[in-house]
Amino acid sequence: MALNSGSPPGIGPYYENHGYQSEHIYPPRSPVAPNGYNLYPAQYYPSPVPQYAPRVTTQASTPVIRTQPKSLGTLCTSTSQNKKSLCVALALGTVLVGAVVAAVLLWRFLPGDSKCSTSEMECGSSGTCISSSLWCDGISHCPNGEDENRCAVPNHFLEASGDQHCHLSSIRLYGPSFTLQVYSSQRKAWYPVCQDDWNESYDRAACKDMGYKNNFYSSQGIPDSTGATSFMKLNVSAGNIDLYKKLYHRPLSNPRYWTAFTGILKQTLMFYGRRHQVEKVISHPNYDSKTKNNDIALMKLQTPLTFNDEVKPVCLPNPGMMLDLAQECWISGWGATYEKGKTSDVLNAAMVPLIETSRCNSKYIYNNLITPAMICAGFLQGTVDSCQGDSGGPLVTLKNGIWWLIGDTSWGSGCAKAFRPGVYGNVTVFTDWIYQQMRANS
């Protein structure tokens, strides 16, 4: 939370919010490869960019028919010395030509022998190298369009317009467990595909997307062992389209990476608080990381909380509850106390007034970036605001002796700047979805 009273950075309290950043609470992890994968034997190292998988011979593959060089064989049975020399020369020549042809074919078609640099990707058929940032950018660069014809479409594109603009591409089977992964050209990394109710038709579709048309092998779902912090999920309502077009990104939803600490005000005392393992993380299905629309996620704890003087519930507003702009609202968090500053050890809290959405959407403030799922709060002159590390924290109001959760801290342009108030998720818009999730996960 930032207090921009003109005092230089460093004066006043600063604080750290790790409430939503679980990684710091664990001891340092064993070394991982720079791309975040656990170390595997060399043959399992992921390529930094997608490569075409070498074709493997399946039962459906046309068998290679090996024939004896009959005429040569006949020639080699001759007893004459000249014929023997000719035979040896011909045999050597044939082997040499064969080796050269094989080397050229291997050089052109084997992915491991790619001519491309690490920042480039090879167009499958022609061997042309293109920058990996051009892969799935909506414009075809490869001679046969390989860079655009296997792209997954982000969720909002699928829902909004069916637009074929692509941001993700290429699927593969990774590591000793053959984890199905998809490459995000936007994020320049591979992510595992995770899905409840996975079925054989998805296996078939995945194999087809990788170029295996006839045979496929179906396996049980497996826990992710690559340490991935986010994954790709299927939009099952997307109809009968290719698998890679149905994939969209789901951030940070592995409950193993999260722990909830309750009853503490200082981060340094975190381990004195009660600790609760997270059973499930439920991100809003329509969260848009670009616009921050629907910026809310729920956590179901493995064990219920015990309420006491330090740990108390907050009430959810009814859906459609109208907010009185005069109603005082409070934000709290361990976030930075000034823009780009350090976070705080102590929990801070501040009063911020709500700002009408039509006003917050004016040209001078956020120029129509505020959706109905967002709510603005703060002072137009700056001074008091939420800041980096506060996101996920509450915007609450006290009415009739009850604290209500009006918003969850989401975003803003800088901290405590004039005409740039804090933006919060509008919880009344999410109440129905929250109840639905509570019912489905109880």
Query: Contact residues for ligand 4AZ (CB under 6 A)?
Result: 335, 385-391, 409, 411-412, 415, 422
Shortest distance, position 425 Cβ to ligand 4AZ, whole Å: 11
276/417 with CB nearer ligand 4AZ: 417
Structure tokens given for 318:
């009814």
Shortest distance, position 378 Cβ to ligand 4AZ, whole Å: 7
Shortest distance, position 437 Cβ to ligand 4AZ, whole Å: 23
Between the CA of residue 209 and those of 186, 191, 206, 272, 370, what are the distances in Å? 20, 16, 5, 50, 38
Shortest distance, position 335 Cβ to ligand 4AZ, whole Å: 6
d(CA 193, CA 173): 10
274/342 with CB nearer ligand 4AZ: 342
Structure tokens given for 121:
């990707």
* Beta bridge partners of residue 346, listed in sequence order: 266
329/415 with CB nearer ligand 4AZ: 415
Residues 6 or more apart from 352 whose CB is under 8 A from it? 329, 330, 331, 377, 378, 379, 384, 385, 386, 395, 421, 422
d(CA 114, CA 166): 24
Shortest distance, position 366 Cβ to ligand 4AZ, whole Å: 11
Shortest distance, position 331 Cβ to ligand 4AZ, whole Å: 9
Shortest distance, position 3 Cβ to ligand 4AZ, whole Å: 12
d(CA 231, CA 224): 10
d(CA 387, CA 1): 5
Which DSSP string corresponds to 274-331? EEEEEEEEEE-TT-BTTTTBT--EEEEESSPPPP-SS----BPPPTTPPPPTTS-EEE
Contact 218, 202 (CB under 8 A): no
Shortest distance, position 347 Cβ to ligand 4AZ, whole Å: 15
Q: Which amino acid is at 239?
A: G
Shortest distance, position 270 Cβ to ligand 4AZ, whole Å: 19
1/136 with CB nearer ligand 4AZ: 1
Residue nearest to ligand 4AZ (CB): 412
Contact 2, 386 (CB under 8 A): yes
Residues 6 or more apart from 436 whose CB is under 8 A from it? none
142/396 with CB nearer ligand 4AZ: 396
154/412 with CB nearer ligand 4AZ: 412
152/376 with CB nearer ligand 4AZ: 376
202/424 with CB nearer ligand 4AZ: 424
218/367 with CB nearer ligand 4AZ: 367
Contact 442, 397 (CB under 8 A): no
d(CA 153, CA 172): 17
Shortest distance, position 190 Cβ to ligand 4AZ, whole Å: 26
Minimal CA–CA distance to 297: which of 412, 430, 197? 430
DSSP 8-state class, residue 194: -
180/415 with CB nearer ligand 4AZ: 415
Between the CA of residue 53 and those of 48, 97, 295, what are the distances in Å? 14, 27, 37
